[in-house]
Structure formats: C-alpha cells, structure tokens
Chains A and B, each alone.
Chain A
Amino acid sequence: MPLLLKMTWQSMLRKPLRTILVMMTISFAFAIFGLADAIDNAFSGGRDLSQTKRLITNHKVSMTNTMPIHYGDQIAQLDGVTMVTHATWYGGYYQDERNPVTVFAVDAQKYIEIFDELVFADEQKSAFLSNISGAAVGRAMADQQGWQLGDRVQIHSNIWRTKHDTNVWDFEILAIFEGEDTNTETNLFLIHHDGFDETRSYGNYSAGWFSIKVEPSDTKEQLAIAAEIDALFANSESETKTATEQSFLESFSNQYADIGLVLKMVMGTVVATLLIVCASTITQSARERQRDFAVLQTMGFRVPWISTWIALESFFTVLIGAVLGIVMAMLFAGRLKVVFTELIPEVTIGFGDLAFGLMISAGVGLLAAILPMFELSNTPIVKTLSRR
C-alpha cells in the first residue's frame, strides 16, 4: 500500500504542469458549481423546512390581501387546533427605500408561543409583551442594522399610514431574540398588532395571515384541518387558502423558480464539462504511459494493481482540485451574502450537492481508469511495449 501511494504521488509529479492544469480546471468547475448551488439555495429559501405543526391561512386571491381579524376566533373553535395567531406585513424600510426590513405586526403573546424557535430572555420578553409600542428584533437583523437593546428606531412603511398622515412609526427595541439553531430566520422585526392597529389610518381590524398550531403531526390530518378552515370562509367576501407552513414557504420561494432553473442549467453544463475534461485527460495520460505499464507488467505487477494506481492518481487529482474549488466558492459566497440579505435569508453552500459532485467526479476518475485497464489486459505485453 505505501508503495501504491508513493507511486501515485510520483506519477502526479511526473508532469507537474499537466497535473496542476487538471487540478485548476476541476477547482474552477467546483467553484462555479458550488457558487451556483449557493445562489440557487438562496433563491429557493435555503432553509431546512423541517416539520412544524403549523398551518398558514392566507387570502385566497393572493398573499398580499388581508382578511378580517375575527377569522382567528372562528378558526380557534375547530377540533385539532391548539392555538391561532395572526400577523400583518408592514412593508418596512429603515432610513432608505433600498434598506428594507421585514416587519410583522403580530399578536405578540400567542405569536411568540407558537413560534417557539424564537428564543427570548425572560425579562426582555415580558418587557416587550407589556408595551404595545415596543418591538422585538431578531439577532440577524440587529447585527445587520447595528441596533442595540433600548434603541428607538423609526421604521417607514410603504403600505400603511398613521392617523397623523405619515408613513413612519417609532419603535423602542425592547427585546432581541435569538434563533433556536442556525436555520431559524432571525432577520425579523416584530411589533404589536394592537399598537399598530390603533395608529394606522386604514385596514383596521384586518390581518395579513393566520398561523395555526395544530395537534396532529401527520400531514394528511393537518391538511384535513386546512380544508375545514377554508370551508369556514367559503363564499364569504374574503375566501381563504390554508396550507402547511412548509408547503407555503416552498411555493413562495418557488416563485423565483425560473432563476433556479437557469442556475441548474449552469451547474449541469459545468458538471458535464468537468466530466469530459477529467475523463479525457486521465485516459490520455494513461495512454501515454502504456509502455511504462508494460514494463511494470513484465516486472510482475498485475493489471488490477496498475489500474488501482491510475484510479488513485485521478482520484487524488480530483479531490485536491475539488477542495480548492470549494474554498474558492466559499470565499465568493461570503461576498455574495451582502448582496442577498435584503431579499433572501442565507447564501449557503449545499455540501450535500458538493458531495454529490465529488462522488461523480471520483466515479469518472475510476471509470477513466477502466479503459486503459481493458487495453492492458487484452493486449500482449510485447505488443504494448512496441507501441509508439
């Protein structure tokens, strides 16, 4: 085995320029692959849509329409419903139109209870709950905007207006909450619906959506409850559309779908190119060494041993190139993060996809070793030796 590794190492150094070229090609392919994947993840929400026992009820016409707030009480009466809360999209931005902040006006007490992945310090939580003009800000947003506990911030709304006919509300940050884990979205600004409804000049007594905690964890039973909810409001002035939270988030991010399609195309083409380049280079480099192999064969090395040698060589070349590429992709993704924060939660490199890419290229390395092996085992040594 040590001999095999040493031979692999030396044959990689045999033509260092070629090895470096192949490695660089692979590393760039992996960098592109990783980056496209990261962007694709960002556009498709990037979050792990783990099973929550939550439903979301939107207006049937579209998620931008609002519904009467009393719908919540009616939903709460249904069997299997544990708790109902509501939220309204505020359309917020801070200081500049190009600096949007995600503000939800929520039914705070219940909202925090239902979304228990938002972790509050006890005294901050009670401070926020007891003051309806206060706000609770997620860690990601506080860091991004440079806000501290106790700051007073003015948030503009591009939808609502106050009774004093401005579109600016003043909030005191009374709590900064953390996410339960890194997948939890904390780029969020929560305000009290009550305080908001008192001061807005139109749209009062309406809510943007209802979040409903349900007992069953089985999707089928959850969907049955969703159907019951929609039946409650069928043929009313505001019909509803209820879905599980996961499927809602999925369909929301799917609206960017076509961009994802283009990125998938990029990734596919890159992988195809990668495969062809690797396979051809490895095959060629093995061909050039046919006579070396023949010499080794005369010395008593078996064909499988030689093939392992070739395969190992290509595997290591791919591996080193891939690692380089992933590092590059990570560097670029770090820069992209800044671009995306306003729209999309996270630019993360999907290591699952990268592992898949790595597996494929390693597979190609091995496949490429098969061809020379075939030739070797089917050709008499003397013939290979006399080859030019």
Chain B
Amino acid sequence: MVYQVITLVANGLKSTLTRLSGVFVAIFCVASVVFLFISVLSMLAGFSKTMSRTGQEDVAVIMRSGALSEVNSVLNVSDLPAMLAHPEIASEGDTKLASGQFYLVVELAKKNGQAVNVPMRGIEHEETALHPDFVLSAGRMFTRGTTEIVVGTAASGQFAGLELGNTVNIQGANWTVVGLFDDGGNVYESEIWADLQTMQAVFQHQDTLQSLRVKLTSPAVFDSYKAAIQGDPRFDLQVERETDYFSSHGSGLITLVQKTVDPLAMLMMVGAIFAALNATYASISTRMTEIATLRALGFTDGAMSLAVLLEAILVSLIGGLIGIGVSYLIVDGFLFSTMNGEAFSQLVFRFNVTPIIVAQGIAMALAIGLLSGLLQHGWRSELRFISRYAKRDSCSCSLPNQGIEQLWPIFWSRMKKDE
C-alpha cells in the first residue's frame, strides 16, 4: 500500500508538467486566498501591536470626566498645581514628572495629496521621561518657546511636508521640523510634538489645555492617585491608566475591522475550497485513462485515493507557501493610515506578518488541500464510472446519448439542404 502510494504520488508529480495549466490554477487559487487572508490578518496584527505598545502602566492620563478622547477634553491651567500636589507622582529632583498636553488635530496632506487630520500635541519638557522608548532617530529635540516641532517617524513617512528640515504652516505660524522620533512603534509615532506654551499661544488658549499626563512612583499607586483626584470636590475629572486609555481607544476601530473581516475570511475559505476542488476534479478527469490503466495494473482504490489526497495537499501547500512569500514581500511593513473614529485623527501603523499569522496561513492551505482531497473521495462512484468508461472503445463519444438521437433529424435535413 505505502509503496503503491509513493509510486502513484511520484508518478503524479512527474506528470504535472503535462497538465501544467490545471496545477497552475490550483496553486494560484490557494496562493491568492492565503495572500488575502494573511494581508488582512497582518493589518489587524499591526494595528493591535501599535495599540498595545502604547502606554505605560505607571503613567496616568487625567481628562475632564465624560471625555472619550483627549481631543474632547478641556482642563484649566489654573487647576494643574492642585493635580500635581500628590505624593504618588514621581519626581526628579524638584520637578514632578508630569506633562500638560495641548492636543488637537490639524489638517495636512498625505503624500498622495489627500487631506487628512493629523494629531498635534503640545508637551512639556518632562514628557520624554514618560516615554521609556522615546529616542530621536534624526535631528534634535525642539527648543522651548519656539515654533520648532519633532515628528514621529510614522507620521513623517506618511504625511507630506513633515520631513526633517521642512516647514509647515499651521494656524498662521511656521513650524520647523527639527527632529524625528521613534517611540517603540506606538501610537505617538503618528503625532507631531511641539512646545506646550508655544501651542497655547499660537492657538490663543493660554488658560486651557486638553489633558495631563503624570508618571507615578509605581504602577501600584495608581488607584490611590485616581481616588484622590476623582474624589476631589473641586474637580470633575477622570483618571485612566495610559495603557487602558489606549486599549479602549482603539477598540472601536478594531472590532469594526474584525467584524467586517470575519465574514470575508469565511467566504474566502469556502471559495478557495471550491476552487481547489475544481482543480482536483480537473486533474482527475484529465487522467481518466491513466487512472483506469493503473487500476488495471493492480493499484488499489485506497492507494489511489490517498495519492490524490497527498497530491492535493502538496499542491495547496505550494500555493500557500507562494501566498505567504508574496505577502511577506509586498505587505509586511507596509505603512498604513486610517481615521480613528472617535478622535477624527489619523493613526499610522504597519502591516505586521507575524509567525503566528504565517502558521495560520499554512494551516489554511493544508485545510484547503485536505478538504478538497477528501471530498474527491466522494467521487469514487464517478471514478469507477471513469474506469469502466475508459475500458470501452476508444472511439466512444461523450455526447449525451439522448442528445445524439435528437440530432439525427437535423443532420438529415442539413444533408438534404446541401444536396
């Protein structure tokens, strides 16, 4: 049996050259489905990665209560000292590690000319202490009190005019890009950072800002700080852990994408199985005579089914690998930006083909091969028919018998006409 299967598979592989088009179709189908599957998954993965990498456990975000995102929040500058006078906030020497945030979206153009809303954040000098992964990849930090800006590498790659050394005009001021920063691949890399006071002055909001970020002495003191601020009768504020803020922030878009992707992926999977079945069917039906001959030579039904199954799996595996390869080449690292519904601002992230996604792609290819190989088992009756058929006179004709009978009168009438 094993020997028979090996022989059959080897034989099948040798004959692939003669039925190149059929095999090509099967491989192409599986490859394109796996490619689509991986692209969509890696988009989701890139998105969650960006979101999950954002935020520190020991950083608290203070916003006005009821605000769903920073862009909707307003704080009074005069209230800040009271928010900072708490022992839970870490300090360096005499300065508390806290940074007031002036946050809004500004309309800029993408590299393809499309107008989009890009987040711009006014920060205090202490901000970088709240970002352990912050590193300037080019240029320098902005000077306080000037209209210099630093731009996240993702934003710089995606939006026009944010390259190092460029100047952009926003709200009547010319902002010069003096540095590009990385922050561990998180949401902040989609932003423009400027000096808090300068932004307040330019936008004429000297006494308000959007939120306050504070570094706590440890993640554990968050609850006591939250209780202190939210219990303070002078304010109506909400305090969130930075990690929680971002995981809730992106969830809307991610569920939306996930919910749209699920039915698509399901349809793709079933569609691919049908396409692969098609190919398997074609490969069997072109080899009718071959199969019949092999049966006559004594190969068993089981061995032949198994050989077809193995061949189907092999073909879809090759297709799957090609799909993975193509998606790895084209899609991985692809910079992508879309609107984050709640804040009306752009979020930039990269497609991320992870090993898990690759494994899922391979599993999908195997499943397609397995299913289409197994389903052909159901065609055994047809196979038997094929073998009977192949034994018949080679001059036989596959027109339906009934059809031929009905053709005779027409045939005669044409003959007469020709005479």
Given contacts A28-B274, A332-B263, contact A167 B66 (CB under 8 A): yes
Say yes or no: is A54 at the interface (Cβ < 8 Å to chain B).
Answer: no
A10 to B407, CA, bound (A): 13
With A257-B338, A258-B336, A388-B394 known as contacts, the answer to whether A273 contacts B257 (CB < 8 A) is no
Complex: how many Å from CA A288 to CA B386?
A: 14
Bound together, the chains give a CA A165 to CA B267 distance in angstroms of 50
Verify if A1 is at the interface (C-beta below 8 Å from B). no
Q: Shortest CB–CB separation between residue B217 and chain A, in angstroms?
A: 31
CB-defined contacts of B22 to chain A, threshold 8 Å: 280, 284
- The minimal Cβ–Cβ distance linking A370 to chain B, given in whole angstroms, is 16
Of B101-109, B121-129, B182-190, B224-232, the one touching chain A: B101-109
Interface residue SS majority, chain B: helix
Contact of A64 among B105, B398, B399, B400 (CB under 8 A): B105
B241 CB to nearest chain A CB (Å): 17
Which B residues touch A280, using CB under 8 A?
21-22, 24-25, 282
Is B411's CB under 8 angstroms from A300's CB?
yes
**Chain A CB within 10 Å, residue with most, of B32, B36, B39, B415:** B36
Chain A residues 212-240 with CB under 8 Å of chain B are 235, 237, 239
Can you list, as one digit per residue, whether each of B262-278 has a CB less than 8 Å from chain A (1) or not (0)? 01100110110011011
Q: Which of the candidate stretches B149-157, B302-310, B339-347 sits at the interface with the other chain? A: B339-347
The reply to whether B414 and A300 form a contact with Cβ atoms under 8 Å apart is: yes
Decide if A62 touches B106 in the complex (CB within 8 Å).
yes
Contact with B along A347-388 (1 / 0, CB 8 A): 000000000000000000000000000000000000000001
0/1 per residue, B151-181, Cβ < 8 Å to A?
0000000000000000000111000000000
CB-contacts of A230-274 with B (<8 A): 235, 237, 239, 241, 251, 254-259, 262, 265-266, 269-270, 272-273
* A64→B32 contact, CB < 8 A: no
Q: Does A25 contact B (CB under 8 A)?
A: yes
User: Contact partner of B339 among A24, A65, A202, A256, CB < 8 A?
Assistant: A256
Question: Bound complex: CA of A160 vs CA of B191, how far in Å?
Answer: 25
Give bound CA distance, A24 to B271, whole Å: 8
A273 to B72, CA, bound (A): 46
**Is B296 interfacial (CB 8 A cutoff)?**
no
Distance of B76 from chain A, by nearest CB (Å): 10
- Name the distance in Å between A382's Cβ and chain B's nearest Cβ: 13
Looking at A3, A63, A157, A258, the one whose CB has the most chain B CB atoms below 10 A away is: A258
Given contacts A10-B403, A31-B271, A256-B339, contact A273 B28 (CB under 8 A): yes
* Residue pair A14, B400 in contact (C-beta under 8 Å): yes
Rounded to whole Å, the gap between the CB of B419 and the closest CB of chain A is 11
Q: A32-B271, A63-B107 are in contact. Are A256 and B398 (CB under 8 A)?
A: no
Q: Is the CB of B263 within 8 A of A64?
A: no
Do most interface residues of chain A lie in helix, strand or loop, or is the interface mixed?
helix
A121 close to chain B: CB less than 8 A: no
B256 partner, pick from A60, A63, A339, beta carbons under 8 A: A339
Of the residues A62, A266, A340, contact of B107 by C-beta under 8 Å: A62
Q: Is A47 an interface residue (CB 8 A)?
A: no
A339 contact from B236, B260, B286, Cβ within 8 A: B260
Known contacts A62-B106, A339-B256, A343-B341; is-contact A159 B72 (Cβ 8 Å): yes
- The answer, yes or no, to whether B35 is at the interface (CB within 8 Å) is yes
Please report the C-alpha to C-alpha distance between residue A280 and residue B336 in the assembled complex, in whole angstroms: 36
CA gap between A286 and B274 in the complex, in Å: 20
* Given known A-B contacts A18-B281, A292-B398, A257 and B171 have beta carbons under 8 A apart: no
Q: Is B67 an interface residue (CB 8 A)?
A: yes
Q: Is the CB of A273 within 8 A of B32?
A: yes
Q: Are B263 and A336 in contact (CB under 8 A)?
A: yes
- Within A268-325, the residues touching B (CB, 8 Å) are 269-270, 272-273, 276-277, 280-281, 283-284, 288-289, 291-292, 295-296, 299-300
With A10-B400, A272-B32 already in contact, the answer to whether A29 and B170 are too (CB < 8 A) is no
CA distance A43 to B402 in the complex (A): 54
Closest approach, in angstroms, between the C-beta of B90 and any C-beta of chain A?
A: 30
* Max chain A Cβ within 10 angstroms of own Cβ: one of B39, B203, B260: B260
The stretch of B9-17, B50-58, B112-120, B137-145 in contact with A is: B112-120
A25 & B257 in contact (Cβ 8 Å cutoff): no
A300 to B407, CA, bound (A): 11
Whether B116 pairs with A255 at a CB distance below 8 angstroms is yes
Verify if A22 is at the interface (C-beta below 8 Å from B). yes
User: Separation in Å of the B49 CB from the closest CB of chain A?
Assistant: 16
CA A85 to CA B344, docked complex, whole Å: 23
User: A273-B28, A299-B411 in contact; A336/B260 too (CB < 8 A)?
Assistant: yes
Q: Is A21 a contact of B274 with CB atoms below 8 Å?
A: yes
B68 contact set on A, CB distance < 8 A: 91, 93, 97, 158
A273 nearest in chain B by CB position: B32
Bound together, the chains give a CA A64 to CA B25 distance in angstroms of 51
Q: Which residues of the partner chain B approach A63 to less than 8 Å between Cβ atoms?
A: 107, 117, 344
- A39 / chain B contacts, CB cutoff of 8 Å: 260, 264
Contact partner of B285 (CB less than 8 A), chosen from A167, A288, A335, A343, is A288
Can you list 11 A-B contacts with CB-CB less than 8 angstroms, sorted by A residue number?
A: A18-B282, A22-B278, A35-B263, A60-B107, A93-B68, A241-B107, A251-B114, A262-B336, A273-B32, A280-B21, A289-B399
The 6 residue pairs across chains A and B that have the minimum distance between CB atoms: A28-B271, A167-B66, A300-B414, A255-B339, A25-B274, A299-B411
Residues of B at the A interface (CB closer than 8 Å) are 21-22, 24-25, 28-29, 32-33, 35-36, 39-40, 43, 64-69, 71-72, 74, 104-107, 110, 114-117, 170-172, 203-204, 236, 252, 256-257, 259-260, 263-264, 267-268, 270-271, 274-275, 277-278, 281-282, 285-286, 289, 336-339, 341, 344, 346, 379, 382, 394, 397-400, 402-403, 406-407, 410-411, 414-415, 418
Given contacts A17-B281, A266-B264, A295-B397, 19 further A-B contacts (CB under 8 A): A7-B403, A14-B398, A14-B400, A17-B379, A21-B278, A25-B271, A28-B268, A35-B267, A157-B66, A251-B114, A255-B116, A255-B338, A257-B110, A259-B257, A266-B40, A270-B271, A277-B29, A284-B21, A340-B256
